[in-house]
Amino acid sequence: MSELLTGAQIICRTLVDAGVEVMFGYPGGAIMPFYDALHGHAGLRHILVRHEQAAAHAADGYARARNRVGVCVATSGPGATNLVTGLATAHMDGSPVLAITGQVGRPMLGRDAFQETDVVGVTLPVTKHNVLVRDIEDLADDVREAMAIAMEGRPGPVLVDVPKDVQNQKAEYRSRTEPLRRQRDPGPDAPDDATVREVARLIAEAKRPLLMIGRGVIMSGAYAEVRELAERTGTPVITTLLGISAFPQAHDLHLGMPGMHGEVHINKAIQAADLIVGIGMRFDDRVTGNTATFAPRAKIVHIDVNPAAIGLNVPVAVGIVGDARRVLERLLSIVTARDCLPWREEIQGLKHDREELFAGGLSPEVILSALADVTGGRCTVVSDVGQHQMWVAQRYPFQRPNTHITSGGLGAMGFAVPAAMGVRLARPDEPVWAISGDGGFQMNMAEMATMVQEGIEVKLAVFNNGYLGMVRQWQQFFHGGRYSNTPILSPDYVKLADAYGIPGWRVTKAGQVTDALRQANAAPGPALVELVIEQEANVFPMIVPGGSLSEPLEAAPV
Ligand SMILES: Cc1ncc(C[n+]2csc(CCOP(=O)(O)OP(=O)(O)O)c2C)c(N)n1
């Protein structure tokens, strides 16, 4: 069946037909026809953010929490360029985000028109796919194709740029009766039996095997398969920053996070391992340190849906391109049972208690264990970027799948607050806590207004140390203690929250933290807790940037 609609109406219909319920955006001249079509539209909820970067991060948070495409919208020029950081974040972490941008009308293209930016050019390296729609007849299929591409293989962001006159033009709307113009990528071929048998053999023969899992496990929903593989073979499991919550934190076989801020015994285990099976992760430099000294005794098996990731950073003995769950199902059908007890005991022996650095004070440990108590672990934690992010990764006891969301690859400060809005809309029944530093919070704190206007119940925790803490730590360790432009002033956060109509608590002592978090968690609507922590607290252990995993710092260098 066909009917005559404007381009703007076609976009709305296409989104509704694709199951989109919510989008995040900000209007402007070149996207006005679309906003006009949205007016009073029953099926689509639009969240007006306070900055387009927040729209992209919110769409990303939504996408990660629901494993489906998150949508953001912006006008041409500055609106579109404000999306770039959010798109780059989604690109690095494999999150399916669709950006719809308005563009100047086709007759104005290439004429330096008001608010004209070549956004297809600008976003080329940070999207999986992007397109300028020049013909209204292509519009619906361009949107459908972009959404399909966002989800297939390794997910990622896509952008559809729609000139204003195309949004105003009328054309027949055709619901998708015929297949997409482009053949859908069928995904990687199933791994051949010989390769899977080879991996099973390596696992059976290894004396010191490790599983190292990343976000690919979360995206493919391979929790049960990873757990079964680990339990059946007694193999300890390491979760990368983005793999946190892909395996129960408290499980006997779980070690924790590797790399720059990984615990010493975990990095030592990597250096002693004779086999590392990396699943849905990419051996990024924060994990490996100096690749020349990384896991010198280990054969590496790398399973990833992205063929380009295999062998990119470390040489692999066996690479398998495929969806983690599908590959693991095959592996589980042939893998032999064992317990690896001597190796597990050896790793236990590598453990040593770290000196409690903030004994008695308002330490990250105290805060994070209070948060776990208060929420009963039933919450999603969205962390920002910096020291607090590492403390969350090291300390919070994530027990349920996909309950830890952070900007891992790009490390984009400002991510947590807007991303948490997206997560909350995707998970309306569970508390969502955004944990930020005083620096990152100030980047997108205007989104408190969005939360209030749209009734989005995000709980905000601000770790206030008066510094851009992680950079200050590097200055202390590697730049002679010269704190160049890292002391950062904060407003009175409780008053600020109050100005937005949000209840706030300021916590300066360990004894106050549980109460404040409990009240904030129970308050209806958004709430804010400022946590005044020790100013010069550091994250330990630490591998010097570009250093070897064998040489951790456990105290500040003198
Ligand atoms: C957008 C952006 N700008 C700069 C950086 C570099 N950077 C990484 S961590 C950090 C400090 C973060 O400070 P804060 O938000 O206060 O958190 P803390 O480290 O104190 O926990 C900075 C500036 C970044 N990651 N992202």
Give me the DSSP letters along 452-477.
HHHT--EEEEEEE-SB-HHHHHHHHH
Tell me, what's the pLDDT at 356? 60
pLDDT class of 190 with cuts at 50, 70, 90: confident
142 C-beta closer than 6 A to ligand 1? no
Rounded CA-CA distance 231/208 in Å is 15
Answer yes or no: is pLDDT of 184 > 70.
Answer: no
Tell me, what's the pLDDT at 453? 98
Q: How far is ligand 1, taken at its centre, from the CA of residue 383, in Å?
A: 12
Q: How far is ligand 1, taken at its centre, from the CA of residue 413, in Å?
A: 6
- Please state, in angstroms and as integers, the Cα–Cα distance from residue 179 to each residue in 55, 129, 173, following that order: 31, 19, 15
Tell me, what's the pLDDT at 180? 62
Can 114 be counted among the known catalytic residues? Answer: yes
Higher pLDDT, 180 or 111: 111
192 three-state secondary structure? coil
Q: Which residue has the tokens 């790793």?
A: 347
DSSP 173: E
- What's the whole-number mean pLDDT along residues 536-557? 95
Nearest to residue 457, comparing CAs of 357, 526, 543? Answer: 526
Q: Which amino acid is at 143?
A: V
Joined tokens for residue 368 = 């994070």
Can 283 be counted among the known catalytic residues? Answer: no
387 C-beta closer than 6 A to ligand 1? yes
- What's the whole-number mean pLDDT along residues 261-268? 96
Higher pLDDT, 178 or 350: 350
Tell me, what's the pLDDT at 353? 73
439 C-beta closer than 6 A to ligand 1? yes
Rounded CA-CA distance 259/267 in Å is 7
Q: Answer yes or no: are the C-beta atoms of 161 and 132 closer than 8 Å.
A: yes
Beta strands in 35-168 (DSSP E): 45-48, 70-74, 97-103, 129-132, 158-163
The whole-chain average pLDDT of the chain stands at 95
Answer yes or no: is pLDDT of 1 > 60.
Answer: no
Tell me, what's the pLDDT at 487? 98
Tell me, what's the pLDDT at 359? 61
pLDDT class of 181 with cuts at 50, 70, 90: low
pLDDT over 90 percentage in the chain:
93
Answer yes or no: is pLDDT of 395 > 70.
Answer: yes
Give just the sign of the alpha carbon dihedral 409, 412, 413, 414.
negative
Rounded CA-CA distance 161/143 in Å is 10
- What's the whole-number mean pLDDT along residues 189-212? 94
Q: How far is ligand 1, taken at its centre, from the CA of residue 405, in Å?
A: 17
Q: How far is ligand 1, taken at its centre, from the CA of residue 385, in Å?
A: 6
Taking only Cα atoms into account, the Rg of the chain, rounded to an integer number of angstroms, comes to 24
Answer yes or no: is pLDDT of 436 > 80.
Answer: yes
Q: Which amino acid is at 212?
A: M
Tell me, what's the pLDDT at 40? 86
Rounded CA-CA distance 89/406 in Å is 10
In 3-state terms the chain splits into helix, strand, coil percentages (rounded to 5) of 40, 20, 40
Beta strands in 306-371 (DSSP E): 318-321
Contacts of 401 (CB under 8 A, 6+ apart): 218, 221, 223, 245, 246
Tell me, what's the pLDDT at 361? 81
Q: Answer yes or no: are the C-beta atoms of 466 and 483 closer than 8 Å.
A: no
Please calculate the CA angle 178-181-183 and round it to the nearest 5 degrees. Answer: 105
462 C-beta closer than 6 A to ligand 1? no
Answer yes or no: is pLDDT of 358 > 90.
Answer: no
Is residue 152 packed enough to be buried (19+ CB in 10 Å), middle (13-18) or exposed (0-12)?
A: middle
Q: Answer yes or no: are the C-beta atoms of 115 and 29 closer than 8 Å.
A: yes
Can 540 be counted among the known catalytic residues? Answer: no
Q: How far is ligand 1, taken at its centre, from the CA of residue 469, in Å?
A: 7
Q: Which amino acid is at 119?
A: V
Q: Answer yes or no: are the C-beta atoms of 101 and 119 closer than 8 Å.
A: yes
Nearest to residue 17, comparing CAs of 137, 147, 133? Answer: 147
- What's the whole-number mean pLDDT along residues 244-260? 97
242 C-beta closer than 6 A to ligand 1? no
Is residue 87 packed enough to be buried (19+ CB in 10 Å), middle (13-18) or exposed (0-12)?
A: buried
Tell me, what's the pLDDT at 355? 63
* Active-site residue, from 413, 445, 470, 542: 470
409 C-beta closer than 6 A to ligand 1? no
Contacts of 357 (CB under 8 A, 6+ apart): 363, 537, 538, 540
Rounded CA-CA distance 157/223 in Å is 24
Tell me, what's the pLDDT at 301? 98
486 C-beta closer than 6 A to ligand 1? no
Can 52 be counted among the known catalytic residues? Answer: yes
Beta strands in 125-189 (DSSP E): 129-132, 158-163, 170-174
Rounded CA-CA distance 385/3 in Å is 48
Atom of ligand 1 nearest to the CA of 441: 15
